[in-house]
Amino acid sequence: MTRMEKPVTFSRRTLLQAGGALVVSFGAPLTLKSARAAENAAAAATKPPLSPDQLSSFIAVNADGTVSAYFGKMDMGQGLSVAIRQMVAEELDVPVDRTKIFIGDTDTSVNQGGASGSTGVQNGGKQMRAASAEARRVLVEMAAQKLGVPADQLSVKDGVVSATNDAGKKVSYRELIGGQFFNVHLDWNGEMGNPLYAPGKAKPKDPKAYTIVGQPVPRDDIAPKVFAQENFCTDVKVPGMVHGRVIRPAVAGAEPIKVDESSIKNIPGARVVWDKGFLGVVADKEWDAIRAAKELKVEWSQPTPPFPSQTTLYDHIRKAPTRKRDEGKPVGNVDDAFKSAARVIEAEYEWPFQSHSSMGPACALVEIKDGRATCWSGTQKAHFVRAGVAAMLGMPEDKVRTIWTTGPGSYGRNDADDCAADAAVLAKAVGRPVRLQYMRDQGTGWDPKAPASIHKARAAVDAAGNVVAYDFLSKGFSRVDVNTNGSKPWDTLAGQNLGVALKSGDGFGFPGESYGFANKRAAWETIAPLLDRSSPLRSAHMRDPVGPQTCFASESFIDEVAAALNIDPVAFRLHYVRDPRDLAVIKAAAEKAGWQTRVSPRRDQRGNTVSGRGIAYAQRGATRVAVIAEVDVDRGSGKIWARKFTVAHDCGQIINPDGLHHAIENNIVQATSRTLWEEVKFDQKNVTSVDWRTYPILDVTEAPEQVDIVMINRLEVAPSGAGEAASRPVPAAIANAVFDATGVRIRRAPFAPAYVKSSLS
C-alpha cells in the first residue's frame, strides 16, 4: 500500500517542537571568498528569515537525513507535489521517498504565486530545481572540506557524498547538516509570486542524467483520502469554534435594511452579524447556523434589477462600449488585404458565463488569538489570502498565517478567497473562531464566473484559394473584473459588501496558434461588468482563462475556412501552421487517431445517429496540444456523445508521465462538460443556476468511451504548464466533429440537446 504519511500537515514549527530540524548556520552567504568558512561553520540556533533569498526557505535536510521541500505553490490534486519531490530528489541525488513536501503554509513557504496559470512545474518547479541544485553544491563543498577531497572528485548517491576514487571516504547529508538549516544566500530576482526566481551558483543537472524525473512515481496523497484519514479544509476544527453562514440577497445588489434578530431567537446560540451590505449568522452547531441563515427575517433594499434578459446577453456584449482594446502584434496590412480579396469568409461565435461550481462550496476557518490570526482555507493562493484576511481584520500581514488545506476542488479564482474574507469578518465580529462553509446555491450562484464573450473571425482568400488575411476579434467581459486572488478587499464579496468599491480590471486573451497568414490581426475588447458591486456575474479566472472560448471560435473558424476551400482540416493546418512543435502535435494526433484525409462534412450518413471527427489545436504558453474528437450525434434529440478523444500533448520535459496523463484526461472530460452542458443562467434579478440541476455538468453515462493520449517528451525543453492546456482545443474539436457528422456548424456554447436539435432542423 501507499505510504500513509500526510506530507502537508506538519509545519516547520511542529517539526521543531517534535525535535526535528534544528537550526544551524555555516557562515555568511557562501561566496568564493567565504567558501573556506564553510569548514568552520558551526551550528547556529536560529533559522535564517523566511525570505526568497535564503536557501533554507526552500530546502532543508532533516535530522533523519530526509529532505524537506517548502513550496509556495499549491497542488490542487493534479500530482504537483510528487512532481516537485521528483525534481528535488533528482537534483540532490536522494531517493524520492526520502523527500517530503510542505505546501501552501505562509509560515513555512515564501509566496511563489500559489496555484496559478499552470505554473506549478514551469515556475515553481524551476525554482525548487535551482534551490535543490544549489543545496547539493553546498553539501558537496561541505563534504570536500570534511573529507579533504576536492569537490570535483566527489560524487553523490542516495544522499551520501563519497570520493570517486576511494569509496571509503564518505559522509552523508545527514552527517553534514541533518537537523540544521542552510544559511546560503540565493540570487533572488526581487519578484514575489509566479515570477519569483532565486537560483544559487549551481547549474542543475543535464537532463540526460535523470533517473527520477520522467518516472511515473506514484502520488502519496491519495491513500489518506481514500481511507478517510485526511482532514480537508472543511474538516478542520479548533476549540471554541462556531459555525457561520452568510446570507446573499435575492436581487443582486440589494442590501439589508432591516434584520429581525428575534426571528432566530429559538435557535441555540444563533447570532447575527450585520454590517452595511454584509449579513451572516453564527451558531455553535452547523445545522443551527444553516437553519438560522434560512429563517432569519431580512428586509432588503429594492434596487433596479441589474441584469439584461439572458436572451439578449450576446447583443448586450456586441453593443456595449469597449472599455479596453488590445491588438497584440498585427502582421502585414490586414485591412488592405481584405479590400483586394477574391472571397471573404466570416463567422461569429458565442460563449456563455460559466461557473467553477467546485464539488463542494468553499470553506474557511478563521481564528483570532493573542494578536494573531490563522486561516485554514482550500484557496489556490494561501499567501494572497493571508493579505486579504489581514486587510479584513485590520492586522499587519505578518500577524496572519494562512494554512492551505485540501479543499473541495479548484480550477481558478473560485469562491475560496471570498469565503476566507467572509469568515474573517464573522470571526472578528463574534470574537470566536468561525468555520464558514457556503451553501450550494452560493457556491454555484455566487462564485466569480468565467466571462461570457463573442468572437468574430474573417478570412480573405485570393483567386487561387490561398488565405491571404485573417482578422479575429474577441469581445467580452473581463477575466479580471475581480482579480485572480482575494488579497484586496475590492476583489472579494466581503470587501464590496462592506463598501469598498470594485476596481474592475481589463483582460482577455488572444488565440494561441502559429498560422502563417501574410496579413493577420487578433484583437480583444473588454466591456464593463453588468453590476459594479457584489455581483454574482463578476468575472474572473477559470481554468485556462478565456482559452476554451477563444480557441472554440478561432479553431472552429479555421475549420470553416478549410471546409469552404474543400481542404481536409488536418491538411489545411499542416499547410499554414508554422511552428515545428505545433506541427508535431497535429501530426501525432492525426497519426494516433488514424485520421483519413478527406474534406468535411461527411455527407454519407442517413440514419438518426451520425458520426464525425474534428480536430483543433492550440498553444498555451509554451505548451502545445492537438485534440481530435470523434462524436455521435443523435439528430432526433440533438444529443451529442463525445465518444473518443485523441490528444497529442507537448509541454516540454515531462516530470511525471502518470500525473501528466491524469491531468490531460481530466482536462478533456471537464472541457467536454463545459462544451456540451455548462451555462450560467440568470434573469434580470440574479443568477438562477444555483445547483447541479440548474447548472448541469457531464454525467458519467456521457463520459467518453476512450481517451488516447500521446505525450511528447522533450527532455531538452524547459517544462511548461500542463494543468489547463488540454482544455483549450476541446470545444472546437467537438464542434468541428459535429460539423463533420451533420454538415451543421454549432457556433454557440453549450451544445446542449435542445440547441443542437434546433440548429439541425
Choose the binding region for other proteins from 8-16, 132-140, 231-239, 302-310 (rule: CB under 8 A): 231-239
Among 109, 127, 357, 492, binds other proteins (CB under 8 A): 357
By rule CB under 8 A, what count of residues binds other proteins?
A: 61
Distance of CA 172 to the CA centre of its chain: 38
Q: How far is the CB of 426 from other proteins (least distance, A)?
A: 18
406 near other proteins, judged by CB under 8 A: yes
| C-alpha span between 577 and 155 (Å, rounded) | 46
Q: Does 358 bind other proteins (CB under 8 A)?
A: yes
Residue of the chain from 99, 374, 437, 646 that contacts other proteins (CB under 8 A): 437
The distance of closest approach from Cβ of residue 292 to other proteins in the complex, given in angstroms and rounded to an integer, is 12
CB-wise, 77 or 280, nearer to other proteins?
A: 77
658 binds other proteins (CB under 8 A): yes
What residues contact 283, with CB distance under 8 A and at least 6 apart?
A: 242, 243, 267, 268, 269, 270, 271, 289, 291, 292
State in angstroms the smallest separation of the CB of 217 from other proteins. Answer: 11
- CB nearer other proteins, residue 584 or residue 703: 703
Smallest separation (angstroms) from other proteins to the CB of 48 = 35
**Span from 64-72, 138-146, 218-226, 339-347 in contact with other proteins (CB under 8 A):** 218-226
Handedness of CA 555, 725, 719, 570 (dihedral sign): negative
698 interacts with other proteins by CB under 8 A: yes
Residue 431 burial (C-beta neighbours within 10 Å; 0-12, 13-18, 19+): exposed
Would you give the DSSP letter of residue 331?
A: B
Please report, as residue ranges, which positions from 2 to 61 form the binding site for other proteins (by CB under 8 A): 2, 4
Q: Which of these ranges, 143-151, 345-353, 403-411, 501-509, lies near other proteins under the rule CB under 8 A?
A: 403-411
User: Could you give the residue ranges of the DSSP H alpha helices within 394-523?
Assistant: 416-430, 440-445, 493-497
Contact between 669 and other proteins per CB under 8 A: yes
When asked if residue 700 is in the footprint of other proteins (CB under 8 A), the reply is yes
Question: Residues 6 or more apart from 664 whose CB is under 8 A from it?
Answer: 647, 649, 707, 709, 711, 722, 726
What does the alpha-carbon distance between residue 756 and residue 284 come to, in Å, rounded to a whole number? Answer: 50
Q: How far apart are the first and last CA of the chain?
A: 55
Select the residue interacting with other proteins from 40, 165, 701, 761 (CB under 8 A): 701
Name residue 366's amino acid. Answer: V
The Cα 626–Cα 323 span in angstroms is 33
Closer residue to other proteins (CB): 209 or 228: 228
Does 711 bind other proteins (CB under 8 A)? Our answer is no
Locus of grid cell 536557501: 55
Asked if 468 is part of the footprint of other proteins (rule: CB under 8 A), the reply reads no
Query: Residue 291: which H helix or E strand, with range?
Result: helix 286-295
User: Which one among 693, 716, 758, 761 touches other proteins, defined by CB under 8 A?
Assistant: 693
- Looking at beta carbons only, is 62 or 437 nearer to other proteins? 437
Integer Cα distance of 512 and 617 in angstroms: 9
Q: Which residues contact 596 (CB under 8 A, 6 or more apart)?
A: none
**Residue 748: partners with Cβ closer than 8 Å, 6 or more residues away:** 314, 349, 350, 351, 755
Is 692 a binding residue for other proteins by CB under 8 A? The answer is yes
Query: CB of residue 727 vs other proteins: minimum separation in angstroms?
Result: 9
CB 450 within 8 A of CB 695: no
Closest separation between CB of residue 697 and other proteins, Å? 7
Q: Which of residues 234, 380, 485, 526 is near other proteins by CB under 8 A?
A: 234
Q: In this chain, which of 125, 512, 704, 731 binds other proteins, going by CB under 8 A? A: 704
Residues near other proteins (CB under 8 A) are 1-2, 4, 76-79, 218-219, 222-223, 225-229, 231-232, 234-235, 285-287, 290, 357-361, 406-411, 437, 439-440, 658-659, 662, 665-673, 691-693, 697-701, 703-704, 707
